[in-house]
A and B are shown apart, each in its own frame.
Chain A
Amino acid sequence: GAGVSQSPSNKVTEKGKDVELRCDPISGHTALYWYRQSLGQGLEFLIYFQGNSAPDKSGLPSDRFSAERTGGSVSTLTIQRTQQEDSAVYLCASSPPGQGAVEQYFGPGTRLTVT
């Protein structure tokens, strides 16, 4: 079946502009995660959605970052007034419902470059 998809695959934007990154999780997966990976770094957790529960936003680095998940499926990560330090690969992942489902299925990522 189809995996996690993300769009766009690459985004170049000027400092100060807003950007929106999209994630389509695997159908039926109730959990959705956003991470970012800066050059030479590990995956940094940003936000987590689980079903209809309030999202865990504890990883968002500033109030310029926000995310929503509509209808329990597609998610959009928005970065307002982008800064050069926002340049990174933004990865989305989803996981199925049920106990013990700890592994996450990742999309290919969106490479964001802020000039």
Chain B
Amino acid sequence: DQQVKQNSPSLSVQEGRISILNCDYTNSMFDYFLWYKKYPAEGPTFLISISSIKDKNEDGRFTVFLNKSAKHLSLHIVPSQPGDSAVYFCAASRPPYTGGFKTIFGAGTRLFVKA
């Protein structure tokens, strides 16, 4: 039962161009969505999040878009840099203060940014 799906295992982009990473979810109870970035031999690091009451959140080169009706979110990186090459995990969360913990991670998408 994959509640959070990242259907593209890998993505290759030229430096300077836009990277678009996609994520789909099935459960409407999630109220926060997050993106994490992971380099080899390191733990994931938090990148950006979005509340379900918003449809866009931007932080520098990173923008996350949320389409609740389609249960779809995407991460845009522009311009892409070689240092962005990593595995990106999408996560859907119900915060602990709601009385229960639930964070589901996708399988990840490996991004290659070519110089």
The chain A residues found within 8 Å of chain B, CB to CB, are: 4, 31, 33, 35, 40-45, 48, 50, 56, 91, 93, 95, 99-109
* Docked-complex contact A41 and B107, CB < 8 angstroms: yes
* Docked-complex contact A106 and B43, CB < 8 angstroms: yes
A20 CA to B103 CA in the complex, in Å? 24
Complex interface residues of chain B between 30 and 89 (CB less than 8 A to chain A): 32, 34, 36, 41-46, 49, 89
Cβ contact of B43, chosen from A40, A93, A99, A101, cutoff 8 A = A93
Cβ contact of B41, chosen from A95, A101, A108, cutoff 8 A = A108
- CB within 8 Å: A-B pair count: 61
The chain B residues found within 8 Å of chain A, CB to CB, are: 4, 6, 32, 34, 36, 41-46, 49, 89, 91, 93, 95-97, 100-101, 103-108
- Known: A43-B44, A91-B44, A108-B42. Contact between A102 and B105, CB under 8 A? no
Q: Smallest CB-CB separation from B45: which chain A residue?
A: A106
9 A-B pairs with the lowest CB-CB distances in the bound complex, closest first: A106-B43, A43-B105, A42-B107, A103-B46, A42-B105, A48-B101, A102-B32, A99-B97, A106-B44
> In whole Å, how far is A97's beta carbon from the nearest beta carbon of chain B?
9
A29 CA to B106 CA in the complex, in Å? 25
Chain B residues within 8 Å of A103, by CB: 34, 46, 49
